[in-house]
Structures are given as C-alpha cells and as structure tokens.
Amino acid sequence: MTGVLVSILAVASQGVPPSNAGNGRPGGPPRNGPQDPGVRGGAAGAGNTYPVLDNTSASQDSAYKAFYAAAKIRFQEVDSVSGTIPGEMGVGLGPRFNANSCAQCHSYPTVGGASPLTNPLVASDFAHLDGAANPVDLSGILSLKGPIREVRQITDPATGQLDGSVADLFTIQGRSDAPGATAAQINFPLQLANHNLSFRIPTPLYGLGLVEFTADSMLRANLAGTAPQRTALGIGGRFNYNGNTQTITRFGWKAQNQSLMMFAGEAYSVEQGVSNELFNEERFLINEDPTVMANSTFNGACEDRTNITNGDAITGTSSDMSSDIVNLAAFGRMLAPAAPTTSTVSQIAGSHLFSQVGCQLCHSPSLTSSKAPFPALSSVTYHPYSDFAIHHMGPGLADGIYQGIAGPDEFRTAPLWGAGQRAFFLHDGRTKDIVQAIQAHQGIGSEANAVIRNFNQLPPRGQQNLIEFLRSL
C-alpha cells in the first residue's frame, strides 16, 4: 500500500527483438521445416485501455479512465519493506519475494505484458538490492537473457508432502530497511539437483477483463460446440473450477484462479510478500522458526488494505480509497487486448490452416463476453485463441504440480493473442522459438498429438504460413 508514487522501472518499450535462438542460427545445425521469424518488430500492439469503457455517458467514461490511469501507476509501484527507501515507496515487501513490482515481471512489450527480453532480476542484481544478503546461486534458474521465472517446489523438503506453492527466490535479510531480519533463502541448487523444482513464466494481462466477464455458460457452450471434432482427434478438455463455488476458474497456466482480484491478491502475497485483504498473513516456510518469523516481520496484518481514511484527508478518489489489489485487478480488467496485424497473403492463408489442422479445437479463435460492469465491454466478441479449458499435454510438459482438478500434465490452453510479441513460450519459458513450442505439444497421452501430426503433414509453405499467422497475433 502507498500514498506516494513511485519510481518506475524503465520497462515500457524495449525495442529490439531477440535473434531467434536455436532456429536457423548462423553456425547452428541446418533445420528443415518452418522458421520462426521471431518477435514481431514495430510498435507494440498492446498496453492501452479501451477507446471507450462506458458508452452511456462521457463523465462515467472519464471516471473509469481516471481509475485505469491511477491503477496503472500502482501496477508499477516499487515496494520496499517499510516504504522508506526513495523510489521504493510501496510498503510490505517480503519476508521472501520474487520481485518488487507487478510491472517488473509483466512488462513486455509494454506494462501489463509478459517477461522482458533481459531478466531484470539478474540485470539489476536483485539478490543484493538495498543491501540484501542473498547468497544462494540461482544460475540454474535465472539467466540474463532468459525469462523471469517463478519457482514451485513439487514436494515440501521439510515434510516430504506434495507442495506446489510458490517458493520465493529472495529474502529481505540484510536490507537496509529490514534490520535484524533472518529469514534465509531456500537451498535452490539442492532442490534443483533433486528435480524438485518446477518453473512458470509470467503471462500477459492484455484483454483479461473480457475473459473475466465471459459467463461460465458461454465457456461451456464454446467447448460443447466442438465436441464431435475434438472426439474425432482424441482431444478431451475440461474446466478447472473453484471447489467452494463450482464456478469455472480461468486464470493462470492451469486455469487455477477465478478472478483478477484473486490473482492480484495472490500475486501480491506470493511474488512480493505484501499481505493484503485476500491473503492477510505474511508467508513463511512450513517449519519456519518462530524467532525468524518474529524478526522478519515489520508491518502488521494487511500491509495493503482499503483506505477507510486517506491519512488525514477523509476523502480521496475512488482509486486512492481502494486497496492496491482492487486497483491492480481493475488495471487488468481495463487493459485492452493486443491488436493483431494479420494482413499478408501468407498470414491469412496461415489463419485458415490453423483451423484446418485443428489448432482451433483448443485455441478457440472467438468468444463473446457477457454483461460487464464496464458497459463497453459487454457482449464483445474477442479473439483469445483459447478455450480456457485444461488439457492433458503429456509427460514432456508435465510439471508435477496439482492445482484444483488440474493434474501434473494438464494446462490451460495458452491464449495466443499477442503471441507475435511474446519473447518466451510454454509454461516454463523453455523456448523462444514458436515452432519448438508447437512441437512440444507432442508426447504420450497428449491430447494434441493428432493435431500436431496434421501440422507436420502440411507442405512446408503451409507450415510457414501458419507460423507467420501466429507471429501476426
């Protein structure tokens, strides 16, 4: 939470796309088959709010836009432990954390997007930020030109029980604003050697309001609509859901979270260590020593909360009075989808092949939102290229993690909107090459096997057209 705002990391527009490592690289092995042209150059096609949020009244519309602008600043706010370090005015970082602002991880091609091309956790030496002492070698997990990764432990080393929760990379120990804190870093190299770690990369937030405002009944009808074709190709698909409400969860790599508010609250807790009104406890290890817990806690419960009073002023804007997580959820809701540039003959041909080979049976090209609180977002047909269902993807992608009803090899169909300007692919960011991302769909028990066979049987020009189409999204 904060009153004052904040130095912003220079993450917004990073121009140069990466060379396309591993595919047709000079000196590398020659590759037959399609080539990924790499991240699409030119202007970022994402990162703004909608032209209109409320088409019923100009004053309502400008009130929503003002909230969006203020919420975006919170998304970029940098947190420190107590909010006393210049440029890091948010309060509540730690005791363990992965990064100190939402925009650190969600930054490419613009604020709200996914992992940037250069890993800020390495480039800015997060391990030692503000005097922190984080001695553990993270080189097996993070690299300068690799994706930002969030780490989960498959089993808890202390108990041997299934875990799956986020294991934070850094601690506040040694920081100038955390005197006496002793919470220690997890022994990541040991857990890596024990094959006990599973990685995830950030997903972009563009267009997620439309996803949130799509009724469960719409999602179910969309899935039911392709049932005969899916069965013919061996494709299943089911929705993950919330065990208390039976409503469809749709956010995250395993579609584990119901709403943007839930994601914001959870991310604030697990990525930054900021306790809030959804996750009000500081996070410690299951066997953490009580003394460590006491000396590593610097603020009371709910470090981020509704501002019932705004300091001495009793009123403020709706954004000022709302908690950060309300603002962060609203930012995701009001952030427009990435704009595709599909226009060339080969891109258009590729879009037809995408459907012909069967990619669209999971990567649904169109869905329609329901009645939304922002009137202009109601009944909008949008193009996420996802059914928001989970599918078995085989042992090559399986990650050992259970979430809701999703088992280790089940993942949400990754939405492909904006894929043209995405630097890393698949849940663990294992490749920058979109062709490799497609080939990784194959494996024993993967529901995508027949479709990938269809893709591989296309003539070379057809395969290339399909890739060109994906990079136009």
Q: Does 430 bind ligand HEC (CB under 6 A)?
A: no
Q: Quick one: tokens of 362? A: 């999971």
Among 36, 61, 150, 304, binds ligand HEC (CB under 6 A): 150
Q: How far is the CB of 371 from ligand HEC (least distance, A)?
A: 21
22 to 61: interface string for ligand HEC, x by CB under 6 A: ----------------------------------------
The residues in 376-395 that bind ligand HEC, with binding defined as CB under 6 A, are 391, 393
User: What are the angstrom distances between the C-alpha of 96 and each of 66, 252, 273, 297?
Assistant: 33, 21, 6, 11
Q: Does 359 bind ligand HEC (CB under 6 A)?
A: yes
Q: Does 334 bind ligand HEC (CB under 6 A)?
A: no
Q: How far is the CB of 212 from ligand HEC (least distance, A)?
A: 9
Among 93, 328, 330, 380, binds ligand HEC (CB under 6 A): 328
230 to 259: interface string for ligand HEC, x by CB under 6 A: -----x---------------xxx------
Long-range CB contacts for residues 290-297, cutoff 8 Å, separation at least 24: 291/182, 292/182, 292/183, 292/184, 293/183, 295/180, 295/181, 295/182, 296/94, 296/95, 296/171, 296/172, 296/173, 296/178, 296/181, 296/182, 296/183, 297/95
Contacts of 103 (CB under 8 A, 6+ apart): 8, 9, 11, 75, 76, 111, 112
Q: How far is the CB of 467 from ligand HEC (least distance, A)?
A: 8
Q: Does 411 bind ligand HEC (CB under 6 A)?
A: yes
157 to 196: interface string for ligand HEC, x by CB under 6 A: ----------------------------------------
Q: Does 219 bind ligand HEC (CB under 6 A)?
A: no
Q: Quick one: tokens of 54? A: 């409320």
User: What are the angstrom distances between the C-alpha of 331 and each of 261, 374, 418?
Assistant: 10, 13, 18
285 or 338: CB nearest ligand HEC: 338
Q: How far is the CB of 148 from ligand HEC (least distance, A)?
A: 5
Among 336, 447, 463, 473, binds ligand HEC (CB under 6 A): 447
Q: Does 105 bind ligand HEC (CB under 6 A)?
A: yes
Q: Does 201 bind ligand HEC (CB under 6 A)?
A: yes
Nearest to residue 258, comparing CAs of 276, 278, 283? 278
294 by Cβ neighbours in 10 Å (0-12 / 13-18 / 19+) ranks as exposed
Q: Does 138 bind ligand HEC (CB under 6 A)?
A: no
Instruction: Give yes or no for a contact between 287 and 158, defined as CB atoms under 8 angstroms apart.
Output: yes
Q: Does 398 bind ligand HEC (CB under 6 A)?
A: no
Among 441, 462, 465, 468, binds ligand HEC (CB under 6 A): 441
Contacts of 345 (CB under 8 A, 6+ apart): none
Count of residues that bind ligand HEC according to CB under 6 A: 54
Nearest-5° Cα angle at 253, 342 to 440: 70
Q: How far is the CB of 49 from ligand HEC (least distance, A)?
A: 16
Instruction: Give yes or no for a contact between 395 and 443, defined as CB atoms under 8 angstroms apart.
Output: yes
The residues in 268-327 that bind ligand HEC, with binding defined as CB under 6 A, are 268, 271-272
Burial track 197-226 (b if 16+ CB lie within 10 A, e otherwise) = bbbbbbbbbbbbbbbbbbeeeebeebbeeb
Question: What is the distance in angstroms between the CA of the first residue and the CA of the last residue of the chain?
Answer: 36
49 or 98: CB nearest ligand HEC: 98
Instruction: Give yes or no for a contact between 136 and 187, defined as CB atoms under 8 angstroms apart.
Output: yes
Residues that bind ligand HEC (CB under 6 A): 98-99, 102, 104-106, 148, 150, 200-203, 205, 235, 251-253, 260, 263-264, 267-268, 271-272, 328, 332, 357-359, 361-363, 391, 393, 397, 411, 413-414, 416, 419, 422, 425-427, 434, 437-438, 441, 447-448, 451-452, 455, 470
